[in-house]
Each structure stands twice: as structure tokens, then as C-alpha cells.
Homo-oligomer: A and B are copies of this chain.
Amino acid sequence: MAKTPPLPPKGTRDFLPRDLVRRNRVFGLLRETFARYGFEPLETPAVEHTAVLEGKYGEEGDRLLFRVLKRGQDLEAAEREVAALAEEERTPAALARSFADMAMRYDLTVPFARVVAARLAEIALPFRRYQMQPVWRADRPQRGRYREFYQCDVDCVGSTSMTVEAEMLTMIEEVFTALGFAEFTMRVNHRGLLDALMDGVDVPTERRSAALGAMDKLDKIGADGVREELGKLGLTDTRVDRLMEVLGLSGTPGEVAGALRPLVGEDAGGQAALREVGEVFDALAMMGVSADHYAFDVSLVRGLAYYTGVIAETVVTRPKIGSLAGGGRYDRLIGQYLGRELPCVGFSFGVERMLDAMAELDLLAGEATTTTQALVTLFARETVGASFALAGELRRAGVRTEVYTDVKELRPQLAFANKKGIPLVVILGTDEAARGEVTLRDLRAGQQRSVRRDEVVVVAQAMLGES
């Protein structure tokens, strides 16, 4: 036992209070904002039947599932089954299928689709939900990539109205602003518009996915890079020129839409896409979203297979951090267990990346390192009761108060408060008690003052509020 190094498994993390104060501030702000926009919480188990998760995330995803070993007789039966296989059939994939009956949650979308199917009768549609829970992936851990990490999804299932997209983007603007990100843009596009453009430029069906993939890289490889990739796909120069022209469009959403209209021409899907994306932009303006915070960006593609309508992505533009949230309309996925379509719009916040970015931008500096606001000292056996009574008063007034555990000199008690980052120390010594006074020391400011016993709570609150 003593030989096991007491570390958590590779790619997972222990969170000490100082970490959680920061994480919980961000998570709390997200939850509070979601609730204020009418999104309700949903939670699903950490584990799902393997049949629910297998085949949903591609071959790579199947390989990255953390699977839960069968137990007892089921495990013995699985071993007999495996023993009967030829040796070359005992691949990791085959072993994994035989030995496991459950797997750990890999994302929040598949469990959401499952719950919607299982509990549809109890759910009032349209259903706006958020879910913020850990997921597990057996990825190679690296800087910023973990095997256990939180995902945070907001979805609205059951409506085809563009008000859904518009409200989500408004909420996303509020979240990033409240977290202190100054310069960010919500890039908005429409899957149907991309289809229409591919039609309009006559890109052959089998090359569309690759062409869109190349366009999606504009941010990373620049216009010349995209041009080169499109050329390699065997598209004619004329086609490449027309696609590059589209990618070069800029201006207000209205201007971009105006420039796209002739390219879309009579294509019904393209016209519908322009109308829908236009409705979203109109609504954003009506809701008072700053025009600096959104743009019509024809180069935005995102996960192609998935989306069916408006797509969007929030990128921090200065410093250039990249995408921290993204999503869009995907009308065909959520109804999969019901065997029918259920319209759905969903966005995912990259909460772990957001936390990393906030640390990088110093947006978490000055943040408290503990939830505790005040330490009440214990000086002498005779004053323990007085310390307890004072702590009780502070707590009833909402001040988060710890009483030091042992009767000791002041020095170690101050050192303790300093190490934890408790801002206020309430010193209740025998002399002070005799005078009916209490000393309040602000460890951040390095200042202290003596106040009358009956003023302590009010002064403590003021000192804590001043910082």
C-alpha cells in the first residue's frame, strides 16, 4: 500500500480548493446564466450500456472508450467465449467487446438523445437543457488534454424557429463578456449555404467534403494555403477562383448576404439558408448583441456530418486563442432512438479550454484561493466560548468563517490564514475580551483595527466588501 505512489490515474486530476474556487466560479456563472435564459439542468449516469455508445463516435471513438469490466459469472462466461476464439481473433477490439458490458460517458450528446427517447412523455417540448458533467476518453494525455474532463452542452430540442439560434448566441455573448473576454467573435454560417455554394461552383459531390475541409482551414493556413489545397483537389482554376471570392467576402452580415445572393441564385436550399441566417442576424441586432461580437463567416464549416442548419463558433480574437464554443442546428441526431427527426440546436462550451485561456489571459488573477473569508482565532481556553459565539454571529450574517481548531499563539494562526489565503483574521485575545474589543486584521492590505464587540460583524462585512 505504501508502495503505490498516491497519484491519480494518468490524464486525470485532483482538484484542491484553490483550483475549485476558480473552476466553480466559471461553472457557477455558466449555470446561473443558462438558468436565466430558461435552460434547465439534466444529468445522466457516468456509465452507459456499451451498445448505446459503440458506433457513435467512429472507429477511433470506439477505441477511446473506457469500458467497464463485466462481473462474476458474466465475466467467467466472457472468458470462456474468448478462450474459444482463434488466437488471431483475440484483438483488443474483440476482447473489449467480450469483457465489458458498460462504458464511461464519452460525450453529452448521445446520453441526451437517449434520455429524450426514454422520457419523451415527461418532457415538455421545446426542451431547453444544459448538462455540465465529466466525460472520459482514453486519449494520450498532453498539455491541455485530459482523460477525464468536463463538457458543457446547451441544447434546445423541439423547435425549428430561428429564435432558438438567436437566443443561444445572445446567451453565449453574455457568458464570454461576463467571464472577462474582451475581444471575441461569434462566426456564423449555414450548412445549407455551403451546400448551395458547392452546387453553384459545380464542385463534384465526391470532392465536396475535402473542399469544405480546405475552406475551413482559412484561419490556419491563409488564403494562399486554401487555394493550393483546392487546386490539389483537381478543381479548375475558375472554380477555385470563385470559391476564393466567396471566402474573401467581408463586411456586415447584410453586405455578405447581398454578395452571396447572386451566387446562390435560384437554389432553394441556398435561399432558405440565407433567409434563416438573416433572421438570426436580425434577431441578434434586436436583442442588443454588439455588432463587434458576430460576423457572417462563409469559411466556417465545422463537423460536416452532423449539422443541418445554422452553425456558429466563438473565437477569441485577441490574443488569438481560437474556438472556445461552437455548435449549430442538427435536426437528425437527437431523434435517432425514436426513429424520427427532432429539430435541435446545440452548443458546446469548451470549459477546460476556457479555464486555460482565462488563466493565460490573467482573468483569474486576484481570484480568491479559498472560499473562506474569515478566520476566528483561538487564544486561551477561557475565550473559546467567546470565539465560537462570534463565529456563529459572523456565519449568521453570511460571512464564511473558520474557527482555528486549537488554542495556540497568534503567529501560527496568522501563518495558517496566510497559507490558505483567508483575507480576514478576527483576533479575540484575553486582553481584547476584557476591554470588550476585537481586532480585525486584513491580511491582503496588511492593516488591522480594533473595534467594539458589537460592531465586529458590520465592520468585517465592510472590510471584506472593500477588496
Contact = CB atoms under 8 A, between A and B. Distances in A.
Given A6-B114, A66-B68, A114-B6, A405 B163 contact: yes
B15 A43 contact: yes
A82 interface: yes
B46 A46 contact: yes
Interface stretch (A203-211, A242-250, A395-403): A395-403
Contacts of A406: 126, 159-161, 163
Contacts of A128: 402
A114 B2 CA distance: 10
B41 A6 contact: no
Contacts of A286: 384-385, 388-389
B337 A1 contact: yes
A129 B17 contact: yes
A414 to B, nearest CB: 12
Contacts of A420: 124
Contacts of A118: 5-8, 14
Contact of A2 (B2, B79, B339): B339
Interface string A2-42: 10111111001111110011001000000000011110111
A448 interface: no
A53 to B, nearest CB: 10
A83 interface: yes
B100 A156 contact: no
Interface stretch (A88-96, A215-223, A301-309): A88-96
B48 A75 contact: no
A378 interface: yes
* Number of identical protomers: 2
B48 A400 contact: no
Interface residues of A, number: 112
A461 interface: no
Nearest to A66: B68
B45 A126 contact: no
A46 B136 contact: yes
Contacts of A49: 4, 7, 9
B41 A17 contact: yes
A42 B16 contact: yes
Nearest to A3: B51
A123 B407 CA distance: 20
A91 to B, nearest CB: 8
A90 B76 contact: yes
A66 B100 CA distance: 11
Nearest to A71: B138
A372 interface: yes
B14 A43 contact: yes
Interface string A273-288: 0000000000100111
29 contacts: A1-B336, A4-B337, A6-B114, A6-B117, A7-B49, A8-B118, A14-B44, A14-B111, A16-B119, A16-B122, A35-B371, A35-B372, A36-B395, A37-B395, A38-B401, A38-B403, A46-B104, A66-B68, A69-B69, A69-B99, A76-B95, A83-B83, A124-B416, A158-B405, A161-B407, A163-B403, A163-B405, A167-B388, A286-B384
Given A14-B44, A15-B41, A76-B91, 16 more contacts: A5-B118, A6-B117, A13-B45, A15-B44, A24-B41, A35-B400, A37-B401, A37-B402, A38-B372, A66-B71, A68-B68, A69-B96, A71-B92, A159-B406, A161-B405, A283-B388
Interface of A: 1-2, 4-9, 12-17, 20-21, 24, 35-38, 40-49, 51-52, 55, 63, 66-69, 71-73, 75-76, 79, 82-83, 90-92, 95-96, 99-100, 102, 104, 111, 114-115, 117-119, 122-124, 126, 128-129, 134, 136, 138, 148, 156, 158-161, 163-164, 166-167, 283, 286-288, 336-337, 339, 370-372, 375, 378, 384-385, 388-389, 392, 395, 398-407, 416, 419-420
The 10 nearest A-B residue pairs measured at CB:
A38-B402, A17-B40, A12-B45, A159-B405, A124-B419, A6-B117, A286-B385, A15-B43, A67-B69, A6-B118
